[in-house]
């Protein structure tokens, strides 16, 4: 069993190192660092929700609920991290290109909050923001060498689940009023 886990970890390191080599260009690293700072602690996505609330007065409460949901998704990812306790990638073939607030990797909180924001804010804007927002954030975590591929996939799944559940509640509440 332990041998399988080590083998799976080795495969993930290979995938991560290959992705990082393929994507790591100066412009991509700058963009990835920008996304990293924007998404840290879900602050950028929370601020985007507050802007939505300020601009779209008719749906202000929905925007505020969605913004709080993004922070809630982030908090859920932190709770999972503390249970799983998977350390971040550490291998000579992977270069870490940004600082992180913790040594824990699974799931990616950036992937979680970004996906939750994309799902929730898509429902409020009437535009599908997922393809524009989620893949760049997930790729950025690999470019920066701070997450395994399964970390970003699990984070996206968690964010999608939280965002989807809350989006249905917002929609249901809107249809009653």
What CA–CA distance (Å, rounded) separates 147 from 131?
20
State how far the Cα of 113 lies from the Cα of 35, in Å rounded to an integer: 12
Single pTM value for the model:
0.90
The pLDDT assigned to 18 comes to 92
Element (H, E) at 171: helix 149-176
124-134 residue pLDDT tens: 999 999 999 99
43 within some domain: yes
pLDDT bracket for residue 1 (50, 70, 90): very low
Name 77's Cβ contacts closer than 8 Å, sequence gap at least 6: 107, 108, 109, 112, 113, 155, 158, 159
Provide the CB-side half-sphere exposure for 133 (13 A, CA).
25
What is residue 25's three-state secondary structure? coil
For residue 104, give the 3-state DSSP assignment.
strand
Query: In the beta sheet, which residues pair with residue 87?
Result: 104
Which one, of 22, 7, 17, lies nearest residue 96 by Cα? 17
**What does the pLDDT average to over 142-150?**
95
Give the whole-angstrom CA distance, residue 147 versus residue 22.
16
- CA-CA distance, 46 to 95, in Å (whole number)? 29
How is residue 150 written in tokens? 């399964």
Segments forming the whole domain that contains residue 48 = 35-176
Which residue reads 């249905």 in tokens?
168
- Reply yes or no on whether the pLDDT at 2 is more than 50: no
Residue 176: predicted pLDDT: 53
Provide the H-helix boundaries in 126-148: 130-143
Q: Is residue 24 part of a domain?
A: no
- Is residue 22 included in any domain, yes or no? no
Number of helices (H), then strands (E), belonging to the chain: the values are 7, 0
- CA 123/CA 170 separation, integer angstroms: 9
Tell me whether residue 154 is in a domain: yes
pLDDT in tens, 40-78: 999 999 999 999 999 999 999 999 999 999 999 999 999
Count of domains for the chain? 1
């Amino acid at each position: 069993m332990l041998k399988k886990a080590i083998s799976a970890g080795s495969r993930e390191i290979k995938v991560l190192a290959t992705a990082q080599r393929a994507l790591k260009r100066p412009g991509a690293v700058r963009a990835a660092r920008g996304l990293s700072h924007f998404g840290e602690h879900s602050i950028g996505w929370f601020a985007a929700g507050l802007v939505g609330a300020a601009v779209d007065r008719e749906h202000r409460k929905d925007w505020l609920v969605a913004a709080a949901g993004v922070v809630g998704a982030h908090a859920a990812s932190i709770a999972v991290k503390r249970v799983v306790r998977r350390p971040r990638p550490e291998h000579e073939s992977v270069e870490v290109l940004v600082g992180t607030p913790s040594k824990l990797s699974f799931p990616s909180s950036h992937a979680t909050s970004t996906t939750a924001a994309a799902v929730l804010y898509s429902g409020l804007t009437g535009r599908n923001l997922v393809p524009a927002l989620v893949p760049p954030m997930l790729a950025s975590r690999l470019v920066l060498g701070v997450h395994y591929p399964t970390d970003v996939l699990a984070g996206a799944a968690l964010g999608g689940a939280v965002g989807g559940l809350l989006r249905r509640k917002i929609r249901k509440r809107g249809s009653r009023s």
